[in-house]
Each structure stands twice: as C-alpha cells, then as structure tokens.
C-alpha cells in the first residue's frame, strides 16, 4: 500500500496554490513536510483527505485513484490527526476515541463492544489508557493530542496524516509525541506530518519534503535540510551540527544564528 501523488495541481476555485507535485510514501515510511506559513502545506493535506478537489493530476492509494472514494472509504484508509482543540461539549476520552469507528459502522449503528475494545487498544498502544474515563475538554494539550492520535488509529488506517502534531505542546510533550509517531511508522503505518521545526525531522523522520517559493523538493532528511535550503525557505541563517546521543548514535541539530 502506498500513497502516490502524481503531477497534482492543488488549490481553490480561483487560485492554484501548488502545481506539479509528485511524491510517494510507502508503508512504514515517515515523511515530514517543512515549509513556511502560507506555502500550501495545509492545502496539500486537504487535497489528500478529500476536503478539496484536485485541479489536475491524481492521488492514488494502493494504485487506486481516491477521487471518487466515499467519505467512509477514505476514512478507513487515511487517519487524520488535526491540531488539538476543544469541542463545545464535554465528551469523555473514550467517547472521542470511539468516534474513530464511525467509518466502520453502518449508517444507523453506534459502536459495539468490539469497537470499544479497538478504541481501548489504541489508547493502550499509545500508553494513555489511564485517560479513558476523563473528560476530553479537561485534559492537557499533550494528552489531547495523544487522544486524537488514538482516535485516528482506531480508524485502523494504512496512512496517518498529522497536521502540526506538536503545536501548542510543551518541549517534553513535543518530543514524546514525535517519538510516538516514529514508533507508529516503524510498526508499519505510512505517516505524513507537518512541522515548523527542522529538528523535528532530524529527531524522527528519515524523509523530508520541503515546500517553498521555488517549488517542492523531496529527499532524505540529511540531503534536504541544509544550511542553504533553510536560508532559501525561511530566510534565516542556520548552522547544522552533529551530536551523538547516549548510545553513540549520531543526531543532527539545526541552530538558528543571530546574524
């Protein structure tokens, strides 16, 4: 199963935001999307998720064009993790995670005992079972992000799409969420996520797509996140350094410079 975007032109009625985008993501692969605000990261996501129609090209899943897939069909294949926010009503965490089963339910049914088991399994997989009976509107931002990931996993998708999964999280939670996402991709799910921090890609993603005014570039993280590319994309000077972690493995670091 692979997600393949072929020569896609994306945008809204009168405005084309991105054109001639081509890339693919394999099962078990993690792709991190980097780029400045307003460059079209969200547009790309919305197109993959079927919220907006393509203006050209095609997007395929396992070789099938997804253009005419129904919403439940799409939801069974692609799990979407939006930025954490609060709904107007105080649902319990289990209620929220169970909503991931909607795409698998008949039009008139509500979750069965088996669906509850799957939802609890997702919470367990992320190590947040203790949140199950808490009220979703009252838990912390980091916990909410985990719950939304658990909800997406409950859809049993083959691809996970995460929109800035670390926004509004404290430093520790950012790292924890990213490592959890990395683990999920290693378990076989294809993951596409956006981030504003090159270091997030160094931490968890072997593959990076860079979106900027010059277009779209995709490749191995080490080849894409370079001092020159960062200058071109964000207009700032950075230095990229190498460190080794406690186990002697090398990890790169992107540091912004004052001048």
Partner 1 sequence: MKISNMLKRNQQMQSSNAVKDKFRQSDTVAVNDGPKIKVRKNGLVLAILSVLLIVIFLWSFTVGRYAVPLPQLLTVFFSKLSGQSAAWSDALETVLFNIRIPRIIVALIIGAVLAASGAAFQGIFRNPMVSPDILGASAGAGFGASLAILYSLDSLTIQLVAFVFGIIAVLMTYLVSGLISRRNNSVLVLVLTGMVVTSLFSAFISLIKFTADPNNKLPEITFWLMGGLSSIKPKNIPLILVPSIIGIIPMLLFRYKLNALSFGEEEAQSLGIDTKKIRFIYIICATLLTSSAVATGGMIGWVGLIIPHLARILVGPNYKFMLPASILLGGSYLLLIDDLSRTIFTLEIPLSILTAIIGAPFFIYLLYRSRSAWT
Query: Which chain residues interact with partner 1 by CB under 8 A?
Result: 13, 46, 49-51, 70-76, 78-80, 82, 85, 87-92, 94-95, 99-100, 102-103, 105, 107-111, 116, 120, 129-130, 132-134, 137, 151, 155
Taking a C-beta distance cutoff of 8 angstroms, is the pair 213, 40 a contact? no
Shortest separation between residue 75's beta carbon and partner 1, angstroms: 3
Shortest separation between residue 176's beta carbon and partner 1, angstroms: 16
Sign of the Cα torsion 137, 143, 144, 146 reads negative
Angstrom CA distances, 245 to 203, 249, 252, 253, stand at: 11, 5, 10, 12
Cβ proximity to partner 1: between 72 and 141 the closer is: 72
Cβ proximity to partner 1: between 30 and 119 the closer is: 119
Give the closest residue to 140 by CA, choosing from 188, 84, 191, 184: 84
Cβ proximity to partner 1: between 78 and 190 the closer is: 78
Please give the sequence-ordered ranges of beta strands (E in DSSP) within 213-249, or none if there are none.
215-220, 238-244
Q: Alpha-carbon distance 213 to 37, whole Å?
A: 11
What is the largest distance, in Å, between two alpha-carbon atoms of the chain?
Answer: 61
Cβ proximity to partner 1: between 20 and 70 the closer is: 70
Residue 19 tokens, joined: 């054109």
Cβ proximity to partner 1: between 90 and 219 the closer is: 90
Shortest separation between residue 163's beta carbon and partner 1, angstroms: 10
**Helices 171-186, 141-154: crossing angle, 10 deg rounding:** 20
Cβ proximity to partner 1: between 11 and 198 the closer is: 11
Cβ proximity to partner 1: between 33 and 203 the closer is: 33
Shortest separation between residue 59's beta carbon and partner 1, angstroms: 15
Q: Alpha-carbon distance 20 to 75, whole Å?
A: 26
Taking a C-beta distance cutoff of 8 angstroms, is the pair 144, 103 a contact? no
Shortest separation between residue 208's beta carbon and partner 1, angstroms: 24
Shortest separation between residue 157's beta carbon and partner 1, angstroms: 10
Q: Alpha-carbon distance 47 to 223, whole Å?
A: 27
Shortest separation between residue 249's beta carbon and partner 1, angstroms: 27
Q: How far is CA 112 from the centre of its chain?
A: 28
Residues 6+ away with beta carbon under 8 Å from 13: none
């Amino acid at each position: 199963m692979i997600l393949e975007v072929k020569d896609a032109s994306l945008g809204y009625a009168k405005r084309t935001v991105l054109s001639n985008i081509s890339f693919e993501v394999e099962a078990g692969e993690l792709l991190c999307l980097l780029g400045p605000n307003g460059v079209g990261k969200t547009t790309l996501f919305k197109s993959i998720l079927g919220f907006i129609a393509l203006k050209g090209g095609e997007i395929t899943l396992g070789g099938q064009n997804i253009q005419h897939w129904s919403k439940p069909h799409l939801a069974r294949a692609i799990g979407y993790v939006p930025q954490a926010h609060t709904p107007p009503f105080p649902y319990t965490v289990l209620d929220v995670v169970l909503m991931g089963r909607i795409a698998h339910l008949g039009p008139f049914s509500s979750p069965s005992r088996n669906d509850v088991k799957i939802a609890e399994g997702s919470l367990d997989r992320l190590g947040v079972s203790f949140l199950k009976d808490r009220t979703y509107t009252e838990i912390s931002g980091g916990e909410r992000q985990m719950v939304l990931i658990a909800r997406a996993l409950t859809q049993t998708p083959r691809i996970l799409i995460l929109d800035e999964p670390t926004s509004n999280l404290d430093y520790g939670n950012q790292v924890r969420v990213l490592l959890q996402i990395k683990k999920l991709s290693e378990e076989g799910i294809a993951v596409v996520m956006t981030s504003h921090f090159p270091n997030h890609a160094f931490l968890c993603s072997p593959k990076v797509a860079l979106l900027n005014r010059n277009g779209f570039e995709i490749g191995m993280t080490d080849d894409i996140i370079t001092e020159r590319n960062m200058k071109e994309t964000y207009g700032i000077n950075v230095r990229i350094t190498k460190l080794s972690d406690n186990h002697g493995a090398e990890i790169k670091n992107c540091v912004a410079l004052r001048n």
